[in-house]
Structure 1
Amino acid sequence: MKYFICFIIHVLIAGMSAHAQGYYLDEGEKVALYPDVEWIKGRGFTAFDSSRIYIIELWATWCKPCIEAMPHLDTLSTKYRQNIVFIAQSVMEDDIKKVRSFIENRWPHYTLNFAFAGGSGSDFDKKWLKPSGTSVLPRTFVVMNNTLVWITTPASINESVVQLLLSGKFTINAAMKLQKGGREVLLTQIIE
């Protein structure tokens, strides 16, 4: 029994050590380059512009909550596309033809920028999904001033949060308070 416990402890320590040496992508991390993806619709880019705000929605054709969130994201994109780059980033799928067809048939008039990352082992998977610990969808990344400022879900992205981003007064705490109520009072205090 002692040997078994020692073995388990050894495996855990080795695993934590190997994990600690890896690259992590978390809130507050600087990001300069966008992973290598194939742009299906809209304007593609390879590097973040520090003067722009990016809202990156991770989705897949098999993810019902992702698909249900898309109209809301497109509404925000239509309204704020002059100030914010909205990206619908397909992930965790290998078949680009299927994704392209899905977009063309389901969302032909959407203003979002659509990109295909590919499945496991893709550049996006290696540089964003695994380092951020993303294993479930939908997931939203918000980038501002070349910094990943928030990892959240599409339900958290609303008009009030967009206004915080545009005013330059965004913090995760302020955004979370907006989710819990008191939107008008808190937003007025933050923007003033």
Structure 2
Amino acid sequence: MKAIVASLACLTLGLHAQALKPGDKVTPEAISQAEFLQGKALADWEPGKLYILECWATWCGPCIAVIPHVDELYDKYHDEGLRVIGMNVWEDGRDKVADFVKGRGEGMSYPVAYVGKGGAFEKDWLTAAGIRGIPHAFLVRDGELLLTTHPSQLKESTVVELLAGGDRSAAAIKAMRNAQENSGKVREILRAFTTAEKNKDADAMMQAIEDLEALDPTFTHLPRMKVDHAVMIEDWDKANTLLEGIDDRRVALMCASVVTRRIDTLEPAPPAPFLESMVEIFKNAPAEDLFAKGSRARMLWKLDRKDEAIATAKEMAANPGVMPKQALQSFADSFEAGTPETMMDLMKAVQAANQPQR
């Protein structure tokens, strides 16, 4: 439950006491002062190009989850005029960030700059715009701040409209700004949903879903909320249908990850068809997504496919990438011992190992 609350909270962090707001003129000066770990430092805005400044950190789970989406946009639309810069913020330790970026390889192919804590970009952009949570993205064209948003809200169709320029771009910006004006109502609805979920009030959860759908039927996390409601009432056929109906692989993966943590300790376990669908979603996850591998191992164990579960967990531990090896090895060892750790156990161990110094 805490996982979905945290994920939804990342989407609802609003803007406060803004000195920097959409429509303002901005310069790349603070960006150029950051240390570029990948790609060339930004000297000036390229005329007509659309810039996405993606603010992230290695310790931020939702930030890492959205990187594949941002990278896909960059790869697909760079030649059409899209520019992406990953701005690593609120972090101690340049080397850790550099290792992370190197480990992502082609999965994070856009330029990346290390700001650290208290850098010029933090002061002139994040603090000035009242941004208190990440991931977060600034959109800029021709020296004008178009808007700020959560990167997951940058759907491909929206980026296409923004790149088109003219009336199409203006309409897309207006639509996103209108949606942000509804953010207060969205926050109220999400609070109602998470409260209802905590109280196991399925009727109130559904009411919140219906209210949100009426306000913004394209809200990114609506599919997750609907699946979560179906899981709450243990309507596994409905939950399975909802999962299979999510066309966006990234959204399906995020949804399945949250559901895994919800059903991880549920007894009796959900029926096999539902678990099989979960296994399939995790099977198609990016190779570097080790949490997806761990979740797949958990689902395989519940299906009594224990040899496959052990092999999946061991594969994860053998290829840790930038993840803490000890936490992954402990997770894999627990499967071989016949008492597998939960995903929440794994996440806590990883977070403890990656805890930034304060």
The answer for the alignment partner of 1:29 in structure 2 is 24
Select 1:62's aligned residue among 59, 63, 66. 59
What is the root-mean-square deviation of aligned Cα atoms in Å? 2.2
Report runs of 4+ in structure 1 exceeding 6 Å deviation: 176-179
Deviation of the 1:176 alpha carbon: 6.2
Bigger mean CA deviation after superposition, 171-180 or 40-49: 171-180
Say if 2:147 and 2:177, in contact at 8 Å, map to a contact too. Answer: no
Instruction: Confirm whether residue 173 of structure 1 aligns to residue 168 of structure 2.
Output: no
Name which of 108, 123, 128 aligns with 1:126.
123
- 1:17-68, Cα deviation, whole Å (9 max, x unpaired): xxx8xx8111111112241111111232132223211011100011000000
Contact 1:49–1:146 under 8 Å retained in 2: no
User: Which residue of the other structure, out of 42, 48, 59, is the alignment partner of 1:45?
Assistant: 42
Q: How does 1:1-192 map to 2 (within 5 A)?
A: 24-35=19-30, 36-82=33-79, 83-105=81-103, 107-109=104-106, 110-120=108-118, 122-168=119-165, 169-170=168-169, 171-175=172-176, 180-181=217-218
Query: Could you tell me whether the CA contact under 8 Å between 1:55 and 1:86 is conserved in 2?
Result: yes
Q: Distance in 2 between matches of 1:158 and 1:33?
A: 25
Superimposed CA distance per residue, residues 109-144 of structure 1 (whole angstroms, 9 cap, x where no aligned partner): 232111111102x11111111101111101011001
Q: 3-state SS of the aligned residue for 2:40?
A: coil
Larger Rg: 2
More strand by share: 1
Instruction: State the Cα distance separating 1:177 from its structure 2 match.
Output: 7.7
Distance 1:166 1:177 in 2: 19
- Count of equivalent residues: 159
- Ranked by relative contact order (alpha carbons within 8 Å, sequence separation 6 or more), the top structure is 1
Distance 1:27 1:177, change over 3 A: closer
Query: How far apart, in 2, do the equivalents of 1:129 and 1:53 lie?
Result: 19
Q: Give the residue type in structure 2 aligned to 1:31.
A: V
Sequence identity (%): 33
Structure 2 length normalisation: TM-score? 0.42
Separation in 2 of the partners of 1:32 and 1:48? 8
Structure 2 CA distance, aligned partners of 1:94 and 1:128? 19
Question: Could you tell me which amino acid in structure 2 is paired with residue 91 of structure 1?
Answer: V
- The 1:46/1:24 distance shift into structure 2, 3 A limit, reads farther
Structure 2 CA distance for aligned equivalents of residues 32 and 128 of structure 1: 10
Distance in 2 separating the partners of 1:50 and 1:153: 24
Unaligned regions of 5+ residues in structure 1, if any?
1-19, 182-192
In structure 2, what is the equivalent of residue 7 of structure 1?
none
SS of 2:28 mapped into structure 1 = coil
Whole-Å separation in 1 of the counterparts to 2:101 and 2:22: 29
Partner residue in 2 for 1:15 = none
Flag structure 2 segments of 5+ consecutive residues without an equivalent.
1-16, 180-215, 219-358
Match of 2:43, SS? coil
**Conserved? CA contact 2:97–2:114, under 8 Å:** yes
Q: Is the 8 A contact 1:31 1:48 kept in 2?
A: no
**Amino acid of the structure 1 residue aligned with 2:38:** K
Kept in 2: contact 1:34–1:48 (CA 8 A): no
Aligned to 2:307: none
Contact 2:19 2:129 in 1 (8 A): yes
8 Å contact from structure 1 (residues 89, 114) kept in 2: yes
Query: Residues 156 and 34 of structure 1: is their aligned pair in 2 closer, same or farther, counting only changes over 3 Å?
Result: farther
Q: Point out the structure with the larger helix share.
A: 2
Give the distance between the partners of 1:173 and 1:90, measured in 2 at CA.
28
TM-score, length basis structure 1: 0.76
